[in-house]
Structures are given as structure tokens and as C-alpha cells.
Amino acid sequence: MITPQTLKGFRDYLPETMIPRRQIINAAAEVYESFGFAPIDTPALEYLEILQGKGSDETDKQMYKFQDAGGRNVGMRFDLTVPLARFSAQHINELGTPFKRYHIAPVWRGENTQHGRYREFVQCDFDTIGTTGVESDIEAVLVIYTLFCRLGFKDQFVIHVNNRQILNGVLETMNLRDKSVSVLRAIDKLPKVGAEKVIEELKQTAGATDEQCESLLAMASLTGTNDEVLASLSQIAAGSELAQAGIARLRQILDGAKAAGIGDSAVQIDLSIARGLDYYTGVIFETFLTELPKIGSVCSGGRYDNLAELYTKQQLPGIGASLGLDRLLAAMEELGKLPDTKTPADVLILFFDSERLNDYIKMSVELRNAGVKVELYPEPKKIKAQMQYADRKGFKYVVIAGSKEFEEGKVQIKNLADGSQKDVPLTELAAAFK
């Protein structure tokens, strides 16, 4: 006997988890498509040089890599952005720009499995490539907003928005522009380690003066309404054209969101989000659930100047974001937002009389033709066993009919939620479920 087990860091999705997971995936796909993002797919395996080119030391270390039977060095993708860069460089002449795509697919990282992290997880990315227009920035906010409303989080999430140009502009005026990576890295830790440690790091790694540290910390800690934050920022960044352009862009995004009916409470300017390191060059987003801020951002992204510089000379600017499907699923579980069902069907037809098999089948087909999802129990077992099955799986209704009922041309519908039952003529069964 071989022990049936999954690898460390990997998991099976049983129906009760896979049903809501599929609902989230379908919701993401439908929302992305409603904005004109087209689906694509790329291989799980790529040439190792393609994956190693853009990744950080960390992703290189975590990557699943090996030599295939043909002696090629290959790796399993660790995100959907590197494959998008390779894909775009390869096909952009055929695709044309602007190119809007979404991609929902598993990725693999040999991460430390503490903290409930898995080594296989699904990413749901959307990106618009080939344009620097602010419309795409606004649209990214709209997509995230629409998606979380659709998933049942209306008024229960906030999209935090920042613009890299602001910090970069301010750093220019401080003559610290070439230290931006160190500064970002330090500021990114503010919520976790506090101001004192961030100042220490800013001095050590970026060589910032006391005054500069104070200024940078003040900027990262700005709070208030969006209007207040923008007003304060304008003053702090008075000397920088780049920062002023970044501030103006944020204003346009807020105005566009308002035109789309999104209130200020759902989109907040937050200078403390830094969103990784040197990849993003413009607006950046993170999305937090108001009831579960500690699980971190559930949808993040931003604007970049050049997606595919390792694979093509053509400059491809763009903007996109990624929904953290499995993190969101865990959050929905914790918040009691998942349906408690192990079956996608609503109705179970019980099966008593094997002589009547074809009548049961007819019934099931009629219900399905009327749009009802219906399962027929596969064997003529005792009612107790079949009812236990219905309860365990979470069916909403059972349909009960034996030879007596078929002769009389009627069936019984039992509502498992409230225990009520009613008899309906066999000919009106489908109508009863409408």
C-alpha cells in the first residue's frame, strides 16, 4: 500500500472549499470581462532563463526548477507577471496595443510553510498594456471596486492608493533619488516596526539627515480626508515637478472614481503603502478588508513603465493588479461569508423503486430542462440513508416518490431548511421549483 498524502505545503480542495473558490474565480473573470479584459493562458513550465531573468533572489530560490527529459533547464512559474512579460514581448505585434488581458492560473513557490502559506496558489491578474493614459489607472480602481462589491464586501473594503512619483519627486529635491529602493524598503516597514526603527534604517541605508527622515516620516504618516492629504502633500512636495504631477494624477483618479459612483470612503490615499520595490513607477494600490485588516492586502497592483525590457526593445508601459484568491477565501471563511454546502445542486431526488428508474430519470431531466440543478440518488436504498446523504451534502430540497406516488401522479417536495413538505402533481414539479 502507498500512503495517500499530498506533498508538504500542498493541499486538496474538497467540494465545500472548491465551490466558493470557483465562485470567486468566476466572479473575477466576469468582472474583468465586463471591462473588456480578454482571457489568456500560458504554460506552467517556462525556460529557466525566462523566469530567472526578472525574479528577485527570493523568487529564484523558491522556484521549482529542474532539467526536463530533453536536457532543457525549466522552471514552474512563480507568478503571472513574468509570463505576461514574455508573452507580450513574443506576441505584441500580433496583439497590438492597447492590450487588455486577464489570467487566472496556479503558480508555485517553495515557500516556508509557516503561517498557513501554501506552495501552490491561484493568482487572478488583470493588466492593460501599451498605454500611459490615466483612464487605465481609474479603470483599475473601478475593476477592484466592482469585484469586491460583487463578492459581497460593499462598504467593507478600502482601496489604498499611492503614487510612486510623489516619493520619487520628493527624494529628488533631497538628492536621495538614487536611494529610492532603500527608502521604500524602510518606509514599507512602518506599520510593522514603528517610526523609530524606520528612521534608524533610513539613516543607515539611505544616508538621510534628521530633517529628511522627519519629512519622509511625516509624508508616510499623513492622515485625514483625501482632500486634506492632497493639500498637505502639495506643500511638502512644493519644490518637485514630478511629485506635483503624481499628486495631480491622484486627483484625477479620485475624480474619475467619484464619476463612477465610488465614494471617498472606498478609495483612500495612503502614502504608507510602498508595494514591493523598484518595479512600479506610478500609481500603486493595496486593498484591505475593514473587518480583517490584519490579513493584509487582498488585491494589489500598480503602474509600471516597462513590462518586458528583458525580452524586447519595445517599451511596454502598463497597469494591473492581482487578486489574492486563496487569502480572500481564508478571509471569507473567517468572516462566515462562505456558503455551507458540499454540492452544487439544490435538489436531490430520492430513489426507492428500481422498477421506476426511468420515471426518476424523466423527472430529473424535466427539472434540469427547467434550469434546476438536480441529483438523482444512484441506488434504491432505505430512506434514512438517502436523507442522511441529503443532509450531509447540504441539499435544499428532496423530492420523494415511490411506486404509490407514481401511480397517483404526484410527488412530495421536502424543504430541508425548515422541514416543511408539500405534495405536488408530477406534471407541476418543475413549475413548483420556479
Q: Which of residues 360-419 bind its own copies (CB under 8 A)?
A: 360-362, 365, 368, 373-379, 389, 392
CB of 273 to its own copies, least distance (A): 24
Subset of 270-329 contacting its own copies (CB under 8 A): 308, 310-313
Subset of 113-142 contacting its own copies (CB under 8 A): 120, 128, 131, 133-136, 138-139, 142
Examine residue 333 and tell whether it contacts its own copies (CB under 8 A).
Answer: no
Other CB atoms within 10 A of residue 205 CB? 14
Q: Which residues contact 39 (CB under 8 A, 6 or more apart)?
A: 29, 32, 33, 101, 102, 103, 104
Stretch that binds its own copies, among 218-226, 239-247, 257-265, 291-299 (CB under 8 A): 257-265
Helix 210-220 and helix 195-206, axial crossing angle in degrees, nearest 10: 130
Examine residue 217 and tell whether it contacts its own copies (CB under 8 A).
Answer: no
Taking the C-alpha atoms of residue 84 and residue 40, their distance in angstroms, rounded to an integer, is 9
CB of 165 to its own copies, least distance (A): 19
CB of 411 to its own copies, least distance (A): 16
Closest CA to 266 of 150, 156, 147: 156
Grid cell at residue 192: 510593522
Examine residue 10 and tell whether it contacts its own copies (CB under 8 A).
Answer: yes
CB of 376 to its own copies, least distance (A): 6
Q: Between 139 and 201, whose beta carbon lies closer to its own copies?
A: 139
Examine residue 232 and tell whether it contacts its own copies (CB under 8 A).
Answer: no
Is 315 in a helix, a strand, or coil? coil
Stretch that binds its own copies, among 16-24, 235-243, 299-307, 415-423 (CB under 8 A): 16-24
C-alpha triplet 238, 239, 243: angle, nearest 5°: 75
CB of 219 to its own copies, least distance (A): 28
Subset of 20-39 contacting its own copies (CB under 8 A): 21-22, 26, 29, 33-39
Examine residue 7 and tell whether it contacts its own copies (CB under 8 A).
Answer: yes
Taking the C-alpha atoms of residue 250 and residue 273, their distance in angstroms, rounded to an integer, is 14
Q: Between 26 and 223, whose beta carbon lies closer to its own copies?
A: 26
In residues, how long is the chain? 434
For cell 507577471, name the residue.
Answer: 81
Q: Between 68 and 196, whose beta carbon lies closer to its own copies?
A: 68
Other CB atoms within 10 A of residue 313 CB? 7
CB of 426 to its own copies, least distance (A): 14
CB of 241 to its own copies, least distance (A): 20
Instruction: Mark residues 71-100: x for contact with its own copies by CB under 8 A, - for none.
Output: -x-x-x---------xx-xxx--xxx-x-x
Taking the C-alpha atoms of residue 316 and residue 354, their distance in angstroms, rounded to an integer, is 65
CB of 80 to its own copies, least distance (A): 12
Q: Between 1 and 417, whose beta carbon lies closer to its own copies?
A: 1
Type of residue numbered 169? G
- Concatenating the DSSP letter of every residue in 128-153 gives EES---HHHHHHHHHHHHHHHHHTT-
CB of 6 to its own copies, least distance (A): 6
Q: Between 222 and 432, whose beta carbon lies closer to its own copies?
A: 432
CA distances to 94, 110, 410, 426 from 407, in Å: 65, 62, 8, 10
CB of 64 to its own copies, least distance (A): 7
CB of 386 to its own copies, least distance (A): 10
| Number of residues engaging its own copies in binding (CB under 8 A) | 107
Helix 210-220 and helix 180-188, axial crossing angle in degrees, nearest 10: 60
DSSP state of 6: P
Under a CB-based contact definition with an 8 Å cutoff, are residues 308 and 85 in contact?
yes
Other CB atoms within 10 A of residue 67 CB? 10
Q: Between 189 and 392, whose beta carbon lies closer to its own copies?
A: 392
**Residue from the set 106, 150, 244, 353 that interacts with its own copies by CB under 8 A:** 106
Under a CB-based contact definition with an 8 Å cutoff, are residues 178 and 305 in contact?
no
Examine residue 57 and tell whether it contacts its own copies (CB under 8 A).
Answer: no
Q: Between 296 and 394, whose beta carbon lies closer to its own copies?
A: 394
Examine residue 46 and tell whether it contacts its own copies (CB under 8 A).
Answer: yes
Under a CB-based contact definition with an 8 Å cutoff, are residues 198 and 130 in contact?
no
Q: H/E element holding 30?
A: helix 15-34
Subset of 336-365 contacting its own copies (CB under 8 A): 342-345, 348, 351, 357-362, 365
Grid cell at residue 400: 420523494
Taking the C-alpha atoms of residue 266 and residue 141, their distance in angstroms, rounded to an integer, is 10
Grid cell at residue 321: 493588479
**Residue from the set 58, 66, 415, 428 that interacts with its own copies by CB under 8 A:** 66
